[in-house]
Structures are given as C-alpha cells and as structure tokens.
Amino acid sequence: MRKLALLLLVGSLAVVAAGCGSKKESASGTTTAASSCAKDDLNLVTTDQLTVGTDNPAFPPWFGGTPHKPWQVSDPNSGQGYESAVAYAVAKELGFAKDEVTWKHVPFNNSFAPGPKSFDFDINQISFSPSRAKVVDFSDSYYDVNQSVVVNKGTPIASASSVAALKPYELGAQLGTTSYQFIQDTIKPSKKPSVFPQNAGAVQALKNKQIDGLVLDLPTAFYVTAVQVPNSKVLGQFAAEPGGEHFGMVFEKGNSLVKCVNTALAKLRSDGTLKQLQQQWLAKATGAPTLK
C-alpha cells in the first residue's frame, strides 16, 4: 500500500516536471517585429496570399454582385460593395493583385475566438471597442458609423421625431453589433429590447410587427428598407458622437500586419479613394433625418 502510494506520487511529480520543462514561449499570437511592409515581409496565414474573412450571407451595401457558392446574397469576390471594395483597395496598396486575395467564410463568433486565426484580417461591420481591442487588434477606421432606426410605415412609431419619442417602443438589434448597447445607452426604452442572432430573424420580427423598430447602422438600414422589409422606411439616424463609433478590420492580437494595413488606409483616405468608395456604395445612406 505504501509502495503504491509512493510510486504514484513520484510518477505525478515526474509528469509535472516534464510539463514545466517543455513550457513553450508565451503564446497569444505571432508577435513578429517586422518593420517592413514589403509584400514579401508581411506576416500572412498563407504565403503570397491575402486571406480576408467575412460572414455569410454577405449583405449589401457592404458587398455586392451575384453570389457564387458558398456565398449567399452577395459575392465578396466581386469587388462590389463597400467592404469588398475597401478590402481590394487595401490589398492593392499592400501589393496584392486581385487574384491574390482569397475570401474566407468566418462566422462572426469565430473572428474573436482564442487561438490562431485562419484569416489575415476580417472585415464584417465590426465596431471598435476598447474591451474588444483587448482580445483582438483593430485597424483604424474605414467607416464612421451612424446608428439609425428602421420602422414599418404607417405604424405609431413612424411618426416619432426625436430620441425621446422612441422610448415607449419595442426595439430590436442584431447580435454582434453595437446597436443593442446604443439602445440601452442612448434611447433607454421602457420596453425590453430584443437581440437577434441573425439578420433574417431581425427582419422577420420587424415584418411581423413583433418589434416596432430595428436599430442598425445606416447603410445596412437602407438595404433593409430597400430590399428586405416592404413598406418600411429609415425613420432617422442618430447624431454621431465625436470620436464615435467606427468599423475596423479585425486582426489576431499582436499581428504586425495591422500597421501595414493602417498605412494603406491612411493613404486611401488622404488620396480620396475611401471617400469615393463611400460615395459609390453608400451614397443612399446619407439621406435620413437626424433624430435628437
């Protein structure tokens, strides 16, 4: 009995020692100190290829073009739609030709899961937030977001003209967006809001009048009213706070690629490309009254 106990104890100590001995370098990401943004020096998932992630379905006006399998609604490969266009523009700045860009389906929840990423960056209407930035790295803004609210025409909420007037209604938002937080912090409604895991559910609930209004970013709101919910309208947009919400691309924490992408974005901003793309793809998304 004593011999057995001793044996087990020694055995476990040996394992612990072995474990300590083989402790690897501290993990979390590929901390590379690449200072050069030359194409060959870039830290990529697959060499000579820029792997860009986004969710499926890919919705206008962020993506466009006829979808090919496995993509639905739109095709990121088309270069149409704001995010697709921006991705290709950034890729070009980094030295990648169009055919050197690969799109990968990355469900939203996977974009921030721990462990090494399967993409170089993810572009999917993901808003920057300080707590999120603790887990992943964000690029600089490629779009400053305004929240807005979509309603069914002819319903009581459709005549609301201020933020306060929205308080008594049942509002909804999509999971993963910052719209829910916006509802809680800015509108502070008296009825509990809803948060839908998918766009399809949110849209259906609005159609069914199970919610009175759907809060989302302005460009998506226009898509919803134009295509998804007949007889709806964008009631209005909310004034953007200074230094307010913006979309950024998501990177694995510590990925040196961020700096290079930021440089590319800065260039696209200064030479007016970004503005031109916004006008091309998001033009409709400016004509909504501002709710105060």
Partner 1 sequence: MASEGDRRPDPEVARRSRLLEGLRLEGEGARGVAIALLSSFVFVAVVIVAVTQSAGWPEVKRAFFDWGDISNAFPDIARAFVLNVKIFLVCEVFILILALVIAVLRSLPGPVFFPLRALAILYADLARGVPTILVIALLGFGAPALQLQGVPTSRVFWAGVGLILIYSGYVAEVYRAGIESVHPSQEAAARSLGLSRFQALRRVILPQAIRRVIPPLLNDFIGLQKDTALVAVLGVIDAFNQAQIYSNSTFTYGAYLAAAALFVAITIPLARLTDWLIARDRRRQQAGSAFA
Pair type for strands 101-105 and 50-54: parallel
CA distances from 180 to 86, 129, 165, 202 (A): 26, 14, 18, 12
The reply on whether position 27 binds partner 1 by CB under 8 A is: yes
Give the position of tokens 């612990």.
16
Applying CB under 8 A, does 23 fall inside the site for partner 1? yes
- Torsion sign across C-alpha atoms 220, 242, 271, 259: negative
The mark string for 28-57 relative to partner 1 (x by CB under 8 A, - otherwise) is xx----------------------------
Stretch that binds partner 1, among 39-47, 60-68, 113-121, 276-284 (CB under 8 A): 113-121
- Pick from 239, 241, 237, 203: which is nearest to 223 by CA? 203
**Interacting residues of 124 by C-beta distance below 8 A, sequence separation 6+:** 53, 54, 55, 83, 106, 108, 111, 250
Q: Is 241 helix (H, G, I), strand (E, B) or coil?
A: coil
Q: Does 134 bind partner 1 (CB under 8 A)?
A: yes
> Is the preceding omega at residue 156 within 30 degrees of 0, hence cis?
no
> What x/- string results for residues 183 through 222 when contact with partner 1 is judged by CB under 8 A?
---------xxxxxx---xx-xx-xxxxx-----------
Q: Binder to partner 1 among 20, 69, 190, 242 (CB under 8 A)?
A: 20
Stretch that binds partner 1, among 64-72, 98-106, 170-178, 224-232 (CB under 8 A): 170-178
| Beta carbon of residue 178, minimum distance to partner 1 (angstroms, whole number) | 7
Nearer to partner 1 among residue 195 and residue 240 (C-beta): 195
Among 135, 227, 266, 283, binds partner 1 (CB under 8 A): 135
- Amino acid occupying residue 17: A
Three-class DSSP category at 238: strand
172 binds partner 1 (CB under 8 A): yes
Residues that bind partner 1 (CB under 8 A): 1, 4-5, 8-9, 11-12, 15-16, 19-20, 22-29, 108-109, 112-115, 129, 131-132, 134-136, 172, 175-176, 178, 180-181, 192-197, 201-202, 204-205, 207-211
